Amino acid sequence: MKSFALVRADDSDKVKIALHDLERYGHIQFSATPKCIEPNYADELLVSVMGVSLKSKCNSAALVEVNYPALPDGEDGASFE
């Protein structure tokens, strides 16, 4: 299954910072280079996934496919211990 991160922000600098923080502090590896997407499309995508309206619209957005490391044998990822 593929996983994606959708980053929305007020401007492109904040999007870049958020992407950097996902990699550095979230230890998330990207499968590809993040792609800029239309802010309106990002908002529509988020509404369709979450099923609720947004409090505010974004002015800049990016989408990137993420890699998660393989889980050790015997772990299914269902536990949050």
Q: What pLDDT score was predicted for residue 75?
A: 53
Q: What pLDDT score was predicted for residue 74?
A: 53
Contact 49, 12 (CB under 8 A): no
Q: Is the four-CA dihedral 45, 50, 53, 56 of positive or negative sign?
A: negative
Average pLDDT along the chain, 81 residues, taken 10 residues at a time: 93 97 93 96 96 95 86 52 46
pTM of the prediction? 0.78
Q: What pLDDT score was predicted for residue 63?
A: 97
Q: What pLDDT score was predicted for residue 40?
A: 97
